[in-house]
Structure formats: C-alpha cells, structure tokens
C-alpha cells in the first residue's frame, strides 16, 4: 500500500487524470445531472479522492457533507483546493486506507469513487469500494516495435529479452483500425451494488472472435466499459479502441507468434484472471488462443 500511495503523490498522474476529459466529464455529468435525487442534502463518501475533483462536483451540486478519503500525500493539496473554492465547510478529509480509519463511523448515502485501474482491476481499489458499500454503504508495426525490437538492438542480438517482454501486458492506445475482430467478447460483468470480492479476485471465461479482415492476429486487446445506471440521467463511457482515448488506454496481451487469419475465421480461446497473494494489486492473466497458451502479468 505504501508504494501504491506514493505513486499518487506525484502531480503528473493527477494532471493526466484530470486532463482525461472522457473520464472527468463523465463523472461530472453523472453527479450534476443526478444531483436532485442522489446528491442534494446527502452525505457523500469520496473514496480515493486524489485532488478532490469528485468531492468538488458533489459539494457544488448540493451535498450536505462530503467525506474525502485518500492514502497519498496529495490530500494536503486537496484540502487547499477545497479552501480555495470556499467548500471547506462541506468537504472534510481523512488520510489513510478506509478500512483502517477508526473515526469514520457514519453511514453515507452515496459513494463516489474513480477506482478503475488498467484492465479495470489493476490496483485492487475495488476492495475498498466494496468494503465501504458493505460497511458504510493488431498491427505488425506495433508488434515488431514491442516484441521484434530485441532481434537487433544497435547491431546486437538480445533475443533473450523477448520472453520476459511477452510476459508483461502492455498498456497502449490501440488505433481502432488495428482491430480485426467483429465484436468484443465480454469476460466479466460487475454490478457494484451486488458483487463480492469472490466475483472478481479470480475468474475465467471462454471467448471467441469472428475475423472481419485477412491479416495477422498479434495481440488480444483488453478494456472495460463503465455504466452509471442512475434515475435521472444514465451515463456511460468506454475505454475501448473505438471510443475517445482515456488515460486507462487499452491492455495488450501480445501473442508469442502472430497468428495468420482470414476474414470469417472464428478464433476461440479462454482467459483466466487472478490476483496473486504476494501482490493483490497486480493481476496474473492466463490466456489461451487456439492452441497457444501464455501467462501475463499486469503490474
């Protein structure tokens, strides 16, 4: 947790997230367009508040109180931001992991949190969200640059680096033109009102893709869609390659060897995702595509 919190103490990551207009405007619209029924005169918990942008949206939308919680040192700046905007009487701040803060005993009407990490589950922050809920409410150029790079590095062979590189999932923006499958395969559906730790800490799914073009399948692209199912204004966004880019980008699992495909081919496979005990914020992904099996780390 210390290393995780430290990574969010740097200003760069917060600038990146706040500059992500898809992310930030979606949350703002979800809060402001549903303020009458969900925010006004309500006690709000902002979990993993960072600079406090969701707290500010909530306070401005008429919240009775907002309790903002974060583990990182950026919290001191969030306090200054609340004062700068005259919202210090509505927003209070607590530093630490929610489960370990003894003086938060109140029940909250609404939880707001931007908990999603790369490949949705990286960082393991959903644990804290559920705890709060329960207790207080392909292209060859890209492949060659990443995998084939090690064949000739300034005239030297470094092929021994290829295997460890393939074991690391790659976080990248994937141009939509590089997608050669007809439609995405859903491997996990989480309803945050009812799901449990067991639903996502270890799961597996079969999948299949229909190819829409001849070419070479170089990687499997992972991403997530988010839906705010709210009474007055439903809001949703995608982090997929066909949507506007976000800071989550996409998660690429490169295949050991490109797989030649033709239009109309049906590619079948399976995926299993598990959180390792030694580092529950990371993910171990086992992927089988046709007859090839690989293991990846999202870290």
Which residues does the annotation mark as catalytic?
A: 114, 123
Q: Between these two residues, 26 and 163, which has the higher pLDDT value?
A: 26
Does residue 14 surpass a pLDDT of 70? no
* Radius of gyration of the chain measured on its C-alpha atoms: 21
Q: At which of 48, 79, 114 does a domain end?
A: 114
What pTM was estimated for this model as a whole?
Answer: 0.76
Clarify whether residues 91 and 197 are in a common domain.
Answer: no
Question: 92-129: per-residue pLDDT in tens?
Answer: 999 988 878 876 766 788 999 999 999 999 877 899 89
Mean pLDDT of the chain: 88
Write down the H helix ranges in the chain. Answer: 2-7, 11-19, 21-32, 53-60, 75-84, 126-135, 140-146, 162-166, 197-201
Structural contact between residues 6 and 13, judged by C-beta atoms closer than 8 angstroms: no
DSSP letters of 192-222? TTT--HHHHHEEEEEEEEEB-SSEEEEEEEE
Clarify whether residues 157 and 78 are in a common domain.
Answer: no
Name the helix (H) or strand (E) containing 84: helix 75-84
What range does the domain containing 102 cover?
2-114
Give a yes or no: residue 129 inside a domain.
Answer: no
Residue 3: band (very low, low, confident or very high) from pLDDT cuts 50, 70, 90: very low
Clarify whether residues 96 and 23 are in a common domain.
Answer: yes
Does residue 162 surpass a pLDDT of 90? no
Give a yes or no: residue 99 inside a domain.
Answer: yes
The CATH number that applies at residue 105 is 3.40.50.150
Clarify whether residues 163 and 80 are in a common domain.
Answer: no
**pLDDT given at position 137:** 62
Q: Is 272 helix (H, G, I), strand (E, B) or coil?
A: strand
Clarify whether residues 183 and 275 are in a common domain.
Answer: yes
Clarify whether residues 228 and 267 are in a common domain.
Answer: yes
Structural contact between residues 254 and 146, judged by C-beta atoms closer than 8 angstroms: yes
Question: 181-195: per-residue pLDDT in tens?
Answer: 999 999 999 999 999
Backbone angles phi, psi at 253, to 5 degrees: -110, 100
Does residue 8 surpass a pLDDT of 60? no
Name the helix (H) or strand (E) containing 58: helix 53-60
């Amino acid at each position: 947790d210390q290393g995780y919190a430290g990574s969010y103490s740097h200003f760069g990551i917060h600038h990146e997230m706040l500059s992500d207009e898809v992310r930030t405007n979606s949350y703002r619209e979800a809060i402001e367009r549903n303020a009458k029924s969900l925010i006004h005169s309500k006690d709000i918990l902002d979990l993993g508040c960072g600079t406090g942008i969701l707290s500010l949206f909530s306070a401005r939308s008429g919240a009775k109180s907002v309790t903002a919680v974060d583990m990182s040192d950026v919290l001191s700046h969030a306090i200054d931001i609340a004062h700068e905007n005259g919202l210090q009487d509505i927003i209070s701040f607590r530093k630490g992991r929610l489960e370990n803060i003894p003086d938060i005993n109140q029940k909250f009407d609404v939880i707001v949190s931007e908990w999603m990490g790369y490949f949705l589950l990286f960082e393991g922050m959903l644990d804290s969200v559920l705890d709060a809920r329960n207790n207080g409410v392909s292209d060859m150029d890209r492949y060659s640059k990443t995998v084939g790079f090690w064949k000739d590095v300034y005239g030297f062979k470094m092929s021994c680096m290829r295997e460890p590189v393939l074991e690391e999932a790659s976080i990248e923006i994937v141009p939509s033109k590089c997608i050669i499958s007809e439609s995405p395969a859903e491997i996990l559906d989480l309803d945050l009102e009812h799901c449990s730790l067991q639903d996502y800490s270890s799961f597996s799914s079969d999948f299949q893709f229909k190819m829409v073009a001849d070419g070479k399948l170089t990687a499997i692209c992972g991403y997530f869609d988010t839906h705010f199912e709210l009474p007055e204004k439903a809001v949703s966004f995608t982090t997929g390659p066909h949507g506007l880019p976000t800071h989550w980008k996409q998660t690429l699992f490169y295949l050991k060897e490109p797989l030649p495909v033709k239009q109309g081919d049906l590619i079948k496979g399976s995926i299993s995702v598990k959180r390792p005990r030694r580092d529950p914020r990371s993910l171990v992904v086992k992927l089988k595509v046709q007859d090839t099996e690989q293991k990846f780390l999202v870290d």
